[in-house]
Amino acid sequence: MFLMQSLLELLETDVPSAFERFGDVLDADWIEDALIQTGTASVRHRKLSAQRVVWLVIAMALFRDRSIQEVVSHIGLVLPNQKEKSKQVRVSVAPSAIPQGRYRLGEAPLQEIFSRMAETWAEEAADQNRWRGLALYGVDGTTLRVPDTEENREAFSLPPSIRGQSSYPQVRLVALMALRSHLIRGVSFGPCSGKQTGEQELSKALWQQVPEESLVVLDRGFINYSLLYHLSHDDKGEISGKKHWLIRGMKNLRMKTIQVFGKGDELVEIQVKSSIRKRDPSLPKSMIVRAIRYQIKGFSPQILLTSLTDPKRYPSKEVSALYHERWELEIGYDEIKTHLLEREEALRSKKAEGIRQEIWGIFLAYNLVRKEMLGVAEAAGVPPVRVSFRHSLQFIRVFCIVEAWTCAPGNLPKRLISLQENMSSLLILPERRPNRLYKRQVKIKMSSYKRNPGKPQVKVLK
């Protein structure tokens, strides 16, 4: 188990005491290489070194209910006094040194560390949970609120709403997830409004990260024939058969039947509009795809489009059931917003650079928790999605703040074994109920009160 390995192969003092259990999981070389490549490694000795600031940003996401100053204090980010090591007297960090350390580090090292982590962990997890030889991924978008400051407004903008203007600036992000493990493979984010800020535009940065022998499940908001064509075809325009896609079609979709495989299962031809081909001359006049029609009792009929054109290798019933695994990404967003971020109104940082750094820290922390849950699922012999994220996060928080902080080093192995046993026995969720389906409904009505317009713009008199 990686928990015991991280205990036996503890890293140097740049790993906080509360995070020693993660030291062997989050490879020290990844952190060191990222700091060197981005030119942010600490040259001189600091109370808050670059390595420790990396862990601080991760801890800011793990301990959302604590102030940043408390995070520094409770997880042991400060260094022992060099003159009094035997007494383990801790040197305090001035509050002003914390934001200085964060902005000195910037976002680039966190992004690089996340990229290394995500490529290794997500692809390994997806490889272990394949469907008919294909690794399953999903792409979808969401938004995060950020503090209402002038810099954040300028960087991320205030999105329009049906009630006028939004109260908070927002970041729009799109994630690529290994669906059966919830590990995030890639993230792309930017302003929530303006030109080229939509989900399709942001998703362009993710397609190169989709590995071969995989299937990407998409919502119909991502219908883009140029995107779908290039995902499943090589540079010569031939079907590569290495990357596949599955997406829900529009209701008014026009197509011509070429071959019928079975009831509601056809090979069809879709004409590509000249306006689309004008923007992308490499596109053909038409695309040959597979269309699968199905209906769930009580719901309107649906149509799925896919590059999986072999009906024997990929049965239509399995494909239509597979589409609903796209919701695992929605569940992942809920885990981040509801549990990891404690449903707080907005992120912490008041500067755009801090927001971007904080977002990378959030996804690093999320993947760390999910990696821990993979070990629990393997030990319990269940799929990773049957391990409770909420309770796993609570166990980790308690261990980092209480156990690792107060427990004598000699007793840590017993505590770690106990932690694993408790997680394995208490955190297993019941099997998913495939027939438990509900229509989308608004559960909480919007307030009838007028929106507070917030800080008024200051007019400069000429």
Beta-strand relationship, 214-218 and 243-248 = parallel
Q: What pLDDT, on a 0 to 100 scale, did the predictor assign at position 160?
A: 77
Determine contact, residues 109/40, Cβ cutoff 8 Å: yes
CA torsion sign, 384 to 385 to 387 to 392?
positive
Q: How confident is the model at residue 350 (pLDDT cuts 50, 70, 90)?
A: very high
CA distance 362 to 183: 13
pLDDT digits over 417-438, tens only?
565 666 666 577 888 776 666 6
3 state SS of 12: coil
Contacts of 461 (CB under 8 A, 6+ apart): none
What percentage of the chain exceeds 70 in pLDDT?
A: 74
Q: How confident is the model at residue 6 (pLDDT cuts 50, 70, 90)?
A: very low
> What ranges in 146-292 are assigned the alpha helix state H?
150-156, 199-203, 225-232, 274-279
Beta-strand relationship, 256-262 and 265-271 = antiparallel
The yes-or-no verdict on residue 461 having pLDDT over 70 is no
Q: What pLDDT, on a 0 to 100 scale, did the predictor assign at position 45?
A: 47
The yes-or-no verdict on residue 459 having pLDDT over 60 is no
Q: What is the mean pLDDT of residues 212-234?
A: 91
pLDDT digits over 102-149, tens only?
888 889 999 999 999 999 999 999 999 999 999 999 999 999 999 999
Determine contact, residues 386/377, Cβ cutoff 8 Å: yes
Q: How confident is the model at residue 9 (pLDDT cuts 50, 70, 90)?
A: very low
Q: What is the mean pLDDT of residues 243-256?
A: 90
pLDDT digits over 18-55, tens only?
555 555 566 667 777 777 777 766 544 455 677 778 88
**Minimal CA–CA distance to 55: which of 77, 33, 86?**
77
Highest mean pLDDT among 159-163, 297-301, 403-407: 297-301
Determine contact, residues 401/218, Cβ cutoff 8 Å: no
CA distance 273 to 152: 39
Per-residue three-class SS string for 336-393 = HHHHHCCCCCCCCCCCHHHHHHHHHHHHHHHHHHHHHHHHHHHHHCCCHHHECHHHHH
Contacts of 453 (CB under 8 A, 6+ apart): 165
The yes-or-no verdict on residue 11 having pLDDT over 50 is no
DSSP 38-78: TT-S-SS--SS-HHHHHHHHHHHHHTTTS-HHHHHHHTT-S
Q: What is the mean pLDDT of residues 381-390?
A: 91
Q: What pLDDT, on a 0 to 100 scale, did the predictor assign at position 409?
A: 45
Q: What is the mean pLDDT of residues 400-408?
A: 57
Determine contact, residues 191/155, Cβ cutoff 8 Å: yes
What percentage of the chain exceeds 90 in pLDDT?
A: 44
Look up the pTM and report it: 0.85
Highest mean pLDDT among 186-190, 292-296, 299-303: 186-190
pLDDT digits over 55-87, tens only?
888 888 988 888 887 777 766 555 444 444 444
- Cβ neighbours, 10 Å, residue 69: 12
Q: What pLDDT, on a 0 to 100 scale, did the predictor assign at position 408?
A: 47
pLDDT digits over 165-185, tens only?
778 899 999 999 999 999 999
Query: Helix (H) and strand (E) counts for the chain?
Result: 16, 11
Q: What pLDDT, on a 0 to 100 scale, did the predictor assign at position 84?
A: 44
Q: Looking at 36-40, 342-346, 368-372, which range is the least confident one? A: 36-40
Q: How confident is the model at residue 13 (pLDDT cuts 50, 70, 90)?
A: very low
The yes-or-no verdict on residue 206 having pLDDT over 90 is yes
Query: Chain-wide mean pLDDT for the chain?
Result: 81
65 or 356, which is more confident: 356
